[in-house]
């Protein structure tokens, strides 16, 4: 936890992030329905087998029944976390491997977990950027998008809008476990399309991981 609070933030930002991250551990515990605590929150209705079928249908262009690294370029979240899917290290993801990975998300029973996005543009922290996590379409709406706006240090706490969550999760700050495309935009700075509308950025949830960094360029 201490290492998570050692960014080049202002003192106020460090204190704010540390407090929110500490709350994140509590939130994680609540979603797990720990003994003696509040009732467990409802996790997303993730259907691993249906989602795996959807992923194969979307990205298996050669009809082989599995997904090669070339095909996964269209699914950057999975490609970036290939080792978590590819159990036999053959640089392909089969339907069964896809199901196994998504079963880990579903079986965790986590409703929300906190995640900080940190954005660097040309190796410098980017303030005022909007970071949007867009769930892969094979989740069919079960996983909701999350957004944040970065502060002076280039960091922001990603959050699902309350309108997308069950009423008893309103006000909680966090994201759902899943696989996402990442879109980064800025109101004053032109960000190349490969980081937003034609994004090559992705994120696949890593339970227990509290931050993700995106290094982008202006060209």
Q: What is the 3-state secondary structure (H, E, C) of 139-194?
A: HCCCCCCEEEECCCCCEEECECCHHHCCHHHCCCCCECCCEEEEEEECCCCCCCHH
Q: Establish how many alpha carbons lie within 13 A of residue 149's alpha carbon, considering only the half-sphere containing its beta carbon.
A: 3
Mean pLDDT value of segment 188-198: 98
Confidence at 207, pLDDT banded by 50, 70, 90: confident
Reply yes or no on whether the pLDDT at 70 is more than 70: yes
Query: Which residues, in sequence order, are bridge partners of residue 180?
Result: 135, 203
Reply yes or no on whether the pLDDT at 165 is more than 50: yes
**Structural tokens at position 109:** 């029973």
**96-129 per-position pLDDT tens digit:** 999 999 999 999 999 999 999 999 999 999 999 9
> 4-13 burial, b if ≥16 CB within 10 A, otherwise e?
ebebebeeeb
8 Å CB contact between 175 and 133: yes
Q: What is the mean pLDDT of the chain?
A: 87
Mean pLDDT value of segment 170-193: 97
Reply yes or no on whether the pLDDT at 11 is more than 50: no
Q: What is the predicted pLDDT for the residue at 141?
A: 97
- Model confidence, pTM: 0.84
Q: What is the predicted pLDDT for the residue at 204?
A: 98
Nearest to 13 by CA among 213, 159, 150, 214: 150
Q: Which of 11-15, 45-49, 119-123, 144-148 has the lowest mean pLDDT?
A: 11-15
Q: What is the predicted pLDDT for the residue at 23?
A: 45
Q: Which of 127-131, 137-141, 143-147, 167-171 has the lowest mean pLDDT?
A: 167-171
Q: What is the predicted pLDDT for the residue at 193?
A: 98
d(CA 18, CA 2) in angstroms, rounded, equals 8
Confidence at 209, pLDDT banded by 50, 70, 90: confident
8 Å CB contact between 208 and 192: no
Mean pLDDT value of segment 18-37: 48
Q: What are phi and psi of 174, to 5 degrees?
A: 175, 180
8 Å CB contact between 150 and 129: yes
Mean pLDDT value of segment 148-153: 98
């Amino acid at each position: 936890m201490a290492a998570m609070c050692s960014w080049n933030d202002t003192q106020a930002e460090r204190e704010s992030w540390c407090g929110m991250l500490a709350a994140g551990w509590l939130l994680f515990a609540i979603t797990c329905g720990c003994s003696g605590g509040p009732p467990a929150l409802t996790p997303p209705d993730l259907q691993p087998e249906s989602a795996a079928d959807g992923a194969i249908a979307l990205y298996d262009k050669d009809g082989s029944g599995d997904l090669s690294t070339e095909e996964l370029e269209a699914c950057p979240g999975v490609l970036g976390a290939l080792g978590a899917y590819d159990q036999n290290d053959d640089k392909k993801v089969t339907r069964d491997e896809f199901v196994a990975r998504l079963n880990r998300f579903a079986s965790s029973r986590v409703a929300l977990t906190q995640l900080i996005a940190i954005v660097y543009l040309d190796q410098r922290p980017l303030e005022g950027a909007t970071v949007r996590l867009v769930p892969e379409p094979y989740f069919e709406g079960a996983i909701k998008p999350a957004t944040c706006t970065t502060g002076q240090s280039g960091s922001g706490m990603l959050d699902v809008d309350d309108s997308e969550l069950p009423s008893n999760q309103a006000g909680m700050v966090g994201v759902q476990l899943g696989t996402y495309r990442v879109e980064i935009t800025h109101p004053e700075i032109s960000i190349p399309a490969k980081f937003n509308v034609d994004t090559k950025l992705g994120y696949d949830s890593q339970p227990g991981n509290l931050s993700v960094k995106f290094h982008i360029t202006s060209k």
